[in-house]
Chain A
Amino acid sequence: NPDLTEERMKGTFDTDKMAALIYGSEKFARRRREISDCVSRIPQLADIKPYPFLTRDEKLMEGTRKISVLNHYLPAIIDKDNAAESLHLHQEVIGFEGHPLALHDSLFIPPLLTQGTDEQHEKWLGRAKRREIIGCYAQTEMGHGSNLRALETTATYDISTQEFILHTPTITALKWWPGNLGKSSNWAVVVADLVIKDTHYGAHMFMVQIRDEKTHEPLTGITVGDIGPKMAFNAADNGFLGFDHYRIPRDHLLMKYSRVEPDGTYIKPMHAKINYHGMVRVRSNMTTEQGLFLAHALTIAVRYSAVRRQGYLDDKSHEVKVLDYQTQQHRLFPSIARAYAFQFAGAETWKLYEQVLNGMKSGNVELMADLHALTSGLKSVVTHQTGEGIEQARMACGGHGYSMASYIFEIFGLAIGGCTYEGENMVMLLQLARYLVKS
């Protein structure tokens, strides 16, 4: 399109160099391009038809089909241990609507990795990485969200059998929302209130098998299923999970930091804030991720605004590009600035997180509370502003923004999920406020 070509000719910098800055290194920016190119040459990885025309069942089937094809090609395309390459590949092939392993790499393996002992890694980590088991992370409950202090699901230690008895006493105690919990996962990291001899020790993580590995049928004592359609992300099966006095061995408690001895002795973690670790990790990552959602919507709106011509300014012989209107620029450019700002803020926050991780190895968790507070605020502000920016991008596309041909709604639906997952925004802001007041 000559209008877009003209725009590209006007640019004053090298977009490959800018991509290197956005994605943190020239190497990763290049790998992204190579992976996209590689995917485009594998016909089985192409969409069977545009996603908006598929039913939810068809989307689920399509996501699953692609995962199985990807599993075959994966080693040839990416370094499997490189999480960033893996994420890019999956987004490229499957997009934003989810798939059966959407949470496996990002929310199942990480807690196993960071909260599990060496023996537990030996037992499960390799299997998870080879995708011999499919997992998810189940914390949120129907009636209490992810409020750890109010979790109703209990894990009561039975000294006589050296087992934990998992139980959901009410409907509100059902795990509700976890991605891929409903139909795909056969294992889950479950967060439950640890109880030993009538004493409650609060939220702890447990590795729990929920389905038979051969038949995929739910195990006895397990109630599991899909929670139904959502605003977006409908190719993923977000699920519910209940336990009826379901028993698991003692060594299924992830015991890197806190332990339960066979006789029921509880050994607490060296520092209470150690449990912030997982939340901080995900929320640090969310800033960058949300910036990219915003960039997706802006890519659509800015390109279209350079193609769409409407009305006249000085020259009455040609309609002008809508991008030349100040209102359109005011609608889009501050969001472009925010998309870049989120990338850079995300990268700096991730560095701080790595600093905290290194500190933790030597018992120094000083920065953890600061970062926990900051990332609570970041995830709230960034998800909110991303949602606003995407909505502006949609309206900047005129009526066509309302069509699923723009695909903006799908990006919007996924991005604003972030306003409530990993902690509802108001709750998160109040967490940061507590820190500001104390300071």
Chain B
Amino acid sequence: TVGAVALDQDGHLAAATSTGGLTGKMWGRIGDSPLIGSGTIAIDGQCAVSGTGTGEYFIRQNAGRQVCDRVHWNDEGIQSAADATMAEVGRIGGDGGLISMDKDGKVAFALNVSGMYRGSVSSETVAKTAIY
């Protein structure tokens, strides 16, 4: 799975996710990637999220929306919201990670596996990538 979240110069957020799913997935199986609110979400003034992992668990936790709700309703910081959401995904047996961004463009990565291919760049920071 791949994904991106962004904040533009007008202060608007967006998110996108694309995937081939899981190796050996059964016919007709759909994960969280194409489900708005689970694998992908963007709401101006709140957050943007793209997830990757065992989709059924991201769906059950409504992961993307959960990050935004934690920010919007609980006044959690984006990193705290991302970590707490991944903890909830993990609690019911899911694994993977997510990228998220708050209304000001602050980036938070969260994962409960050993690696996630990821990167970021902004008007204030140079491009950087990470795996582990």
Do these two chains really belong together in a complex? no
